[in-house]
Amino acid sequence: MSATKGGSKGTRRSTADEDITLDTDLGWAIRMVSSAFRRVAGESVAGLPGGPRGYLVLVALAAGEPPTQLALAQQVSLDRTVMTYLLDDLEAGELIERRPDPRDRRARQVVITDKGRDELARARRGLATAEGRLLADLDESDTAALRTLLTRVAHTAQSAALGPDESC
């Protein structure tokens, strides 16, 4: 049976359909923010080998003990093969070093160099400016809440194997 609320023939729209707009669609919001972030942040990381991916690797390396290549790939949700080529480029730029893992001679640890830390600091300064432009309509409290919530969702996505598709 297909009737609308006004009694004319056609397809009946549910109340849920009537409530859907771009402003209420999570996918649209995520896509718009992601696209805008890539544009405004792109210049800040463009000089790094691998661009945004290279930046994420340097962030992960600066944050703690040197991981193995495999652990690093899992941490930043990159395919192992993609990670190998990215590390080759970062190593050629003298931003990282690969060393034998003292716990497992078959594995390699990835270590950020002093030059890598300097380049990371430069990129972070540029990203802070870019983030400020993107988040200009939010006050400090909203910005902190957004970061907290996005980080929680990102961890959920990563642990549920819903991380980014890096096949390309």
> Could you tell me if residue 8 is inside a domain?
no
Can you tell me whether residue 166 is helix, strand or coil?
coil
Please give the residue that has the higher pLDDT: either 10 or 135. 135
CATH number of the domain at 124, please: 1.10.10.10
What is the average pLDDT across 95-102?
A: 94
For 136, the domain range is 40-158
Six-digit token string for 30: 């995520």
Distances 135 to 139, 144, 146 between C-alpha atoms, Å: 8, 11, 10
Q: Is the pLDDT reported for residue 160 higher than 90?
A: no
- Predicted confidence at residue 168, as pLDDT, reads 36
pTM (2 d.p.): 0.76
* Count of domains observed in the chain: 1
Q: Is the pLDDT reported for residue 20 higher than 80?
A: no
> Could you tell me if residue 23 is inside a domain?
no
